[in-house]
Structure 1
Amino acid sequence: MVATVLPPLPATLTQAEAEAYLARCRAAIATAPAGVPWRLDASALHSFDSSALAVLLALRREAAARGAAWHIDGLPDRVRVLAGLYGVAELLTA
């Protein structure tokens, strides 16, 4: 099964960029068949705030609602650390 590829995370994802990025993802999701896995490339991300976590968690919720597994490629360690501090690290892996 071919995965639905979401727009890659930008180099900067803060509160200023979060809404527009999430809108781009939702446009891609709207055309994706239900149940098809999603892939997200996070390797370019290097400047972010907690809004990046909010975006990732929103995408995770939407994937679950559509019955789609998801995978994040290249998630920076700093994002994993921040997710751990917020107690949501395990939510970013499945």
Structure 2
Amino acid sequence: MLSLPATLTQDHARECLEQLTDGLQAEAAQVVVDAAELRQFDSSALAVLLALRRECARAGKHFAVQGLPQRLRDLATLYGIEGLLPAA
């Protein structure tokens, strides 16, 4: 399982995505991202999750998210992308 950090803003997005992408290699066919520790974030968190989803698709792996904070879920709904972040 991959985990998001407590803080994921624009300042941290590139580094976070690189770490998650590196960790993707060790994951099985189902990649679950744990977002339970995420406390401080902006829309960059959604961009990171969507980019990781694309990487999973390229690798032929299924993507899911667990523990998505309600505020981030609401933001995904506002942007119309909630269906791209399936719950684990």
TM-score, structure 1 normalization: 0.84
Q: Which residue of 2 aligns with 1:13?
A: 8
Alpha-carbon deviations, 1:16-64, whole Å to 9, x = none?
A: 111111111111123446xx11011100112111100000000111111
Q: 2:41 aligned to 39, 48, 58, which one?
A: 48
Alpha-carbon deviations, 1:55-75, whole Å to 9, x = none?
A: 000011111111111221111
**Are 1:63 and 2:64 an aligned pair?**
no
Equivalents in 1 of 2:21, 2:53: separation in Å?
12
Greater Rg over alpha carbons, structure? 1
Letter in 2 for 1:28: G
> SS where residue 44 of structure 2 aligns?
helix
C-alpha spacing 1:10/1:66, structure 2 compared with 1 (3 Å): same
Residue identity over aligned pairs, in percent, reads 49
**Are 1:76 and 2:56 an aligned pair?**
no
Aligned length: 87
After TM superposition, which residue ranges in structure 1, 4 or more long, deviate above 3 angstroms? Answer: 30-33
> SS where residue 72 of structure 1 aligns?
strand
Q: Which residue of 1 aligns with 2:18?
A: 23
